[in-house]
Structure 1
Amino acid sequence: MRKLIAFDEDTFAKLTQLGRDRMATIQELADEAFADVLKKHGIPIDLRDALRKSAAPSRAATPGKTRSRTRKASS
């Protein structure tokens, strides 16, 4: 799928320079940025990530060990 995204001139120049420095294309930089946003919000990036996430036990289903400390009353 092909979509267009507009950048202001300064941002585009900085992205172009970053691409040159890292020997990457603007597309590769965009792929990395969008993957980071999806990961930040807990959305699987690809099939492997989705399967890994679905196979992991949910925290609600398996309660973790919690310690509750009771304070000793001072006399």
Structure 2
Amino acid sequence: MEKENAFLLIKKIESNINVSVDYLKLMALQREHIPLVGRTIIQQQIGVLDSLKNGLFLLKIKRCTRRTKKISRD
């Protein structure tokens, strides 16, 4: 897979994660309609999605660092 395609794929995944987190947070606000177990599951899902988002952010930083090192060597 080319680097540009991989970067676009990361952007799409990040966008999907953001949409999912927003949806889950909106659901969590409707407490009277969701039982405690459901709210707990929602909080766990938000935590997992936040972890994925942080992992993607670290991948972007790593990619930018590599690019900077290549430029400074030239």
Q: TM-score range by the shorter chain?
A: under 0.3
Higher relative contact order (CA 8 A, sep 6+): 2
Q: TM-score, normalised by structure 1?
A: 0.27
Q: TM-score, normalised by structure 2?
A: 0.27
Q: Quick check: which has more Rg, 1 or 2? A: 1
